[in-house]
Amino acid sequence: MLLLRCPYCGVDCDETELSPGGEAHLKRFGPGSEDADFEGYLFQRENPKGVHFERWRHANGCGKWFHAARCTVTLEVFGTYSAQLTEPPQDIKDAITAKRPGWHWREFA
């Protein structure tokens, strides 16, 4: 059972209280964009075996969206942060580097 802390209401909630929202920090492409960019935005995913960034919603709680940094191999949670951020904050990156030296995820490392 995953336990994530909602960065808005501060509650430690288990996954039945949350809705998973898929990969985080997608760059959106709309009308007028290249086919390859649009395909990438809609379908292609990092799907990493290791460090991953995701969107979650505190559905049965405050209802707000937030971000989580997680390891898909060990289910370890490195931290959660605001949905307003376009990339992981430095303290989360540092927490990951401490435990997974040399990690990479798209352009964030």
Partner 1 sequence: MKRYSAFAIAREALRDHMGWTRAWESPEPRAQYDVIIIGAGGHGLATAYHLGKEHGITNVAVIEKGWLGGGNTGRNTTIIRSNYLQDPSAAIYEKARSLYETLSQDLNYNVMFSPRGVIMLAQTEHEVRGYKRTAHANALQGVATEYIGPQKVKELCPIICLDGPRYPVLGGLWQARGGTARHDAVAWGYARACSDMGMHILQKCEVTGVKTQNGKVTGVTTSRGDIGCNKMGIVVAGNSGHLAEMAGFRLPVESVALQALVSEPIKPCMDVVVMANTVHGYMSQSDKGEMVIGGGADGYNNYTQRGSFHHIEETVRALIETFPMISRLKMLRQWGGIVDMTGDRSPIISKTPLEGCFINCGWGTGGFKAIPGSGFAMAELMATGRSPLAAEFGMERFREGRFIDESVAAGVAH
Going by C-beta distance under 8 Å and a sequence separation of 6 or more, which residues neighbour residue 84?
none
Task: Rule CB under 8 A: say whether 35 interacts with partner 1.
Answer: yes
Task: Rule CB under 8 A: say whether 84 interacts with partner 1.
Answer: no
Task: Rule CB under 8 A: say whether 94 interacts with partner 1.
Answer: no
Site string for partner 1, 56-75 (x = CB under 8 A): ----------------xxxx
CA pair distance 42, 7, nearest whole angstrom: 27
CA pair distance 64, 30, nearest whole angstrom: 25
Consecutive H or E run containing 57: strand 51-57
**How many residues can be counted in the chain?**
109
CA pair distance 56, 75, nearest whole angstrom: 15
For partner 1, the closer of residues 51 and 92 by Cβ is: 51
Which range of residues in 17-25, 58-66, 81-89, 94-102 is near partner 1 by CB under 8 A? 17-25
**Residue 105 Cβ, how far from partner 1 at the closest point, in Å?**
11
Contacts to partner 1 by CB under 8 A? 1-2, 15-16, 19-20, 22-23, 35-36, 38-40, 42-49, 52, 54, 72-75
